[in-house]
Structure 1
Amino acid sequence: MHLDTVRTWRGRFAEQGLPGLADRCRSGRPPSFTALQAAQVKALACQLPAGPRCRWPAGHARSWPARPWPGASPP
């Protein structure tokens, strides 16, 4: 963390107390997703994968990445 950032935060805290440290509006593009959409994506990402499609083939998990995937061309 840069010293100037700490000085800025210290000054805000001295003037406004704890509310002075709250996030401020930022310039730039507005959020693309609503808060509900972001929560739905997070909930989906935290679920366990469904079915065997998301598992390693037998024996590959232990050797990864020591040997290349079967059928893969060498780099």
Structure 2
Amino acid sequence: MTETPVNEMSFEQAMAELEQVLGQLERGDVALDESITLYERGAALKARCEAKLKEAEEKVAAITLDSDGNPTGTAPVDIQ
């Protein structure tokens, strides 16, 4: 696990760490307390990935096309 706060991670960072967490949990070679900590971190990482995907989805949906189907820009989207 990294020390980076989950809410500051990019999608790629969160996904990579989530894969590591899942690998550790699947092996089952960690103590119960550490398993709980890993599970909580994994849940936060999963939520971060979902939020970043939704953000990207909204940006794609905001792209406007001209009559020939070419992108002309994006509509303003306020994503936090």
TM-score, with normalisation over the residues of structure 2?
A: 0.25
Instruction: Kindly name which structure, 1 or 2, has the bigger radius of gyration based on alpha carbons.
Output: 1
The structure richer in helix per residue is 2
